Structure 1
Amino acid sequence: MPSSENKTFTLKAAGLLDIDKGEVVRPGILKIQGDRIVGVGGKPEGDVVDLGDLILMPGLMDMEVNLLMGGRGEVAETGQMKDDPPLRMMRAVGNARRTLRAGFTTVRNLGLFVKTGGYLLDVALMKAIDAGWVDGPRIVPAGHAITPTGGHLDPTMFGAFAPHVLNLSVEEGLANGVDEIRRAVRHNIKHGAQVIKTCGSGGVLSHTGHAGAQHYSNEELRTIADEAHRRGLKVAAHTHGADAVRAVVEAGIDCIEHGFLIDDDVIELMVERGTWLVATTALADGMEVLEQATPELKAKAAEMFPKAKDSVLAAYKAGVKIAVGSDAPAIPHGKNALELVALVSRGLPELDVLRGATTLAAELIDADDRGRLAEGLLADVIAVPGNPLEDISVTQRVKYVMKGGKHFTG
């Protein structure tokens, strides 16, 4: 496929999604030079890639993934102890490739919670992808998730390990108290993190405590926000419970991940403060990992998931800014578009869901070079077999992927 830096070529399709106007423009003509879009509409120029009846769209974005976890060959119960960093990186290459070929050209990798010796594997993966060594989406890396001992993102929690099994360091995100938290955040920033991920409450897979229980103190949460914001980074917090979400929002943290148990009062506060929500609502339709879960964890899911289906619609109606995130590998890598389908099934309009995976996602990560098909922006383009404004499920059947002017098989 054409991708010369010096020659203009054209993608031609049956239509093109104008995400700002909320309509499909026919026919779809997109002119590419190097890694940029240089024209929309008009007569084709240079070589033409004819995509027939497909509809062109901006590359999709997933604001909650962990490419270093899940994927082929990982065993959830023992992987934390058996899989060393080189093996995780090899698996992550496959996860990244599947994510890109599913049409997701940008992701936030939200927080390692694995033992790495302090290395930021997602930063390394980002660099390898940016250098063209491996195929994958553009990555906004968080480094290690910042979590207290026994917090939801403490990896020893998921396996209910005995004391001293898989000891973790501050450089691996396990931080208690203000001083350790500052050190953990600074370690991430020093080594390339572009966003900070923290643990605001328990979760479905936490073996102890209520899923909505607040894990860090108010002072500790403020410390995370302060340390990140002074360096120009945003903070995302895994948080479910309404009281915990309130504490996180009042601490100045920018984005709530999940928020399954938020109520109207907290939603109002999120609107007032401009706090984002990445709802990961497809999880409420079931998680593969729960098939082998204990009865206690299944009971927790049965309590939380129905509330999650209602809370995202309430947040949307109130005006909370919602960006799309799948929480892969809780949703399998490469199946990220399940989240778009789930959001529409909750009652959100197709156009606003698509914006949550394009223009709004770009706003969340402060990227003004992507998210729409417009002159001067990155040539991150996908093509789907139908109008996504009428049938969101076409995003699950991506037939063509381009990232930065380079063609990838859909």
Structure 2
Amino acid sequence: MKEKFIIRGKRIVTVSQLGTVENGAVVVEDGKIIDVGTWDNLKKQYPAIKYIDCSDFVITPSLIDCHTHLLEFAPTSLYPDAPINHFVAGKELLFGALSSGITALGEQICGHPQCDFSVTDYRRAVEDMPIDISFATTSISIGFDELTHFSALTQSKSIDRKTLNDLSLVRLIAQASDYPGENIFINATPANFTANEVPRAGEIIYSIEELKKIVDIYHQSGKQVGTHVAGAEAIDMALEAGFDVLHHAHGISDALIEKASEQKVKVVATPIGGTHLMPNSPEDILKLMDNKIPVSISTDAYLPPFQGATWLPFNDSELKGPNVLMSIAQPAMQLLKKHHYTDNEILALLTANPAQILGKEKQFGKIEIGMDANFLVAEGIPGLEITDVKKIKKVFYKGRQVVNRLKIF
């Protein structure tokens, strides 16, 4: 049974119109936020309910990683995986995300040669997890010597380019998708392979006519559509075709940023990598923000850090997961701070903006009356002031404490 309680913080960074509330408090009932304000006011209004004192810490919305591959590709990349254990490994990765302050994920299901699981299988596997997962069903093209294509609906069976463009298959993929993830790969992806293994990474797969037909199918189904895209030519095609969300958008030019802004396109930035080109730098993200483009920062986990991305705090090529979300976001977040963006505007890159990508902006991503009580208790603002997950002391999901590092002995 869910309880009613009031939790006090040194600061509440709400990422809402309330902004930051000093010496603030949040009142929670039945998993929802029912009040937000100063501690002095709320303690008088709610004198008899359970009180949680976190007055030495900052309370913020919990984090959202809206572009991941934790359930399909990561288990086989990280473990000597077998189908019988695949979802066991996947759940372990989900708990790692939760322990890193992430209570919502956007998960891509692309089709995997070793995993003959349906989208329904993935959904059922995580029903009992205290984390909100939205699934983007996709097709994918991998840049091996011979391009290889898969889709969420054809599962472990590879498909040819003709099938990739079969509009009846596209329609089924669109119907099964929860949100505009990388539904279509305009460029062949390197995935998490080394460069010599994927020499055709970056190759453009579709014509503009094909892309327009695909976008029309999603829009006719009442859904937005996202794309994996990088490079000026491919990004221009994506904008001309009418895609709603650009995932990666590595190599976007100033002119294309202006065009994306005019079309009210959203961008999911992946500073760690994910395409054949140099990933989003802090300066790239600042330009997007300056042009009023809603930016979400995501890990695309699990990926190796892109070699040459000097803003990344890594000296190795090991695959990185959701636990590095704050680390890869910090350079851009601190640059935004130097350019006079507010703490609330900056934290939105990890909270409210990705909630909007997932279509759940009325459910979570802010500390606001009526929202799910998904929030963190931390030593500072995630990403902007802290990057060590151990400095996230408590994680609440729908009003339930699901992570606690504040142990009293």
Deviation at 1:92, TM superposition (A): 1.1
Residue type matched to 2:248 in 1? H
| In the alignment, structure 1 residue 216 sits paired with structure 2 residue 206 | yes
Taking the TM superposition and a 5 Å limit, the aligned residue runs for 1:79-118 are 83-115=81-113, 116-117=115-116
Residue type matched to 1:314 in 2? K
Q: 1:334 aligned to 323, 329, 332, which one? A: 323
Residue type matched to 1:102 in 2? S
| In the alignment, structure 1 residue 352 sits paired with structure 2 residue 342 | no
Aligned to 1:198: 184
Taking the TM superposition and a 5 Å limit, the aligned residue runs for 1:182-197 are 182-189=167-174, 191=176, 193-195=178-180, 197=183
Aligned to 1:34: 30
Cα deviation code 1:355-383 (max 9, x no counterpart) = 12222222222221211111111111111
Deviation at 1:71, TM superposition (A): 5.1
1:86, 1:189 → 2: CA distance? Answer: 29
| In the alignment, structure 1 residue 269 sits paired with structure 2 residue 265 | no
8 Å contact from structure 1 (residues 178, 219) kept in 2: no
Cα deviation code 1:328-367 (max 9, x no counterpart) = 1113133322232132255464543311222222222222
CA change 1:71–1:54 in 2 (3 A) is farther
8 Å contact from structure 2 (residues 271, 280) kept in 1: no
Q: 1:58 aligned to 53, 57, 61, which one? A: 61
2:22, 2:284 → 1: CA distance? Answer: 37
8 Å contact from structure 1 (residues 202, 210) kept in 2: yes
Aligned to 1:323: 296
Taking the TM superposition and a 5 Å limit, the aligned residue runs for 1:3-82 are 4-5=1-2, 7-21=3-17, 23-41=19-37, 42-43=42-43, 44=46, 45-69=48-72, 74-75=76-77
CA change 1:124–1:194 in 2 (3 A) is farther
Q: CA RMSD in A?
A: 3.3
Aligned to 1:290: none
| In the alignment, structure 1 residue 241 sits paired with structure 2 residue 224 | no
Q: TM-score, normalised by structure 2?
A: 0.78
CA change 1:231–1:306 in 2 (3 A) is closer
- SS of 2:106's equivalent in the other structure is strand
2:290, 2:94 → 1: CA distance? Answer: 33
Cα deviation code 1:125-148 (max 9, x no counterpart) = 44454x4x234x2111013x213x
1:389, 1:117 → 2: CA distance? Answer: 37
CA change 1:400–1:126 in 2 (3 A) is farther
- SS of 1:27's equivalent in the other structure is strand
2:389, 2:373 → 1: CA distance? Answer: 18
CA change 1:227–1:100 in 2 (3 A) is same
Aligned to 2:307: none
Quick check: 388-397 or 376-385, which moved more? 388-397
Deviation at 1:244, TM superposition (A): 0.1
1:396, 1:267 → 2: CA distance? Answer: 36
Residue type matched to 1:57 in 2? T
CA change 1:245–1:35 in 2 (3 A) is same
Deviation at 1:252, TM superposition (A): 1.3
Quick check: 244-253 or 192-201, which moved more? 192-201
Q: Which runs of 5+ in 2 are unaligned?
A: 304-319, 405-409
2:150, 2:382 → 1: CA distance? Answer: 47
Structure 1 vs Structure 2: percent identity of aligned residues? 19
8 Å contact from structure 1 (residues 15, 56) kept in 2: yes
Task: Name whichever structure is richer in strand by fraction.
Answer: 2
- SS of 1:305's equivalent in the other structure is coil
1:39, 1:169 → 2: CA distance? Answer: 41
8 Å contact from structure 2 (residues 25, 36) kept in 1: yes
CA change 1:22–1:30 in 2 (3 A) is closer
Deviation at 1:387, TM superposition (A): 4.4
1:264, 1:334 → 2: CA distance? Answer: 31
Aligned to 1:305: 278
Deviation at 1:21, TM superposition (A): 4.5
Q: Which runs of 5+ in 1 are unaligned?
A: 288-299
Q: How many residues in Structure 1 have an aligned counterpart in Structure 2?
A: 368
Residue type matched to 1:33 in 2? E
2:279, 2:172 → 1: CA distance? Answer: 38
Deviation at 1:96, TM superposition (A): 0.9
1:275, 1:221 → 2: CA distance? Answer: 16
CA change 1:342–1:183 in 2 (3 A) is farther
Deviation at 1:277, TM superposition (A): 0.8
- SS of 1:328's equivalent in the other structure is coil
8 Å contact from structure 1 (residues 382, 401) kept in 2: yes
Residue type matched to 1:31 in 2? V
| In the alignment, structure 1 residue 397 sits paired with structure 2 residue 385 | no
8 Å contact from structure 1 (residues 69, 329) kept in 2: no
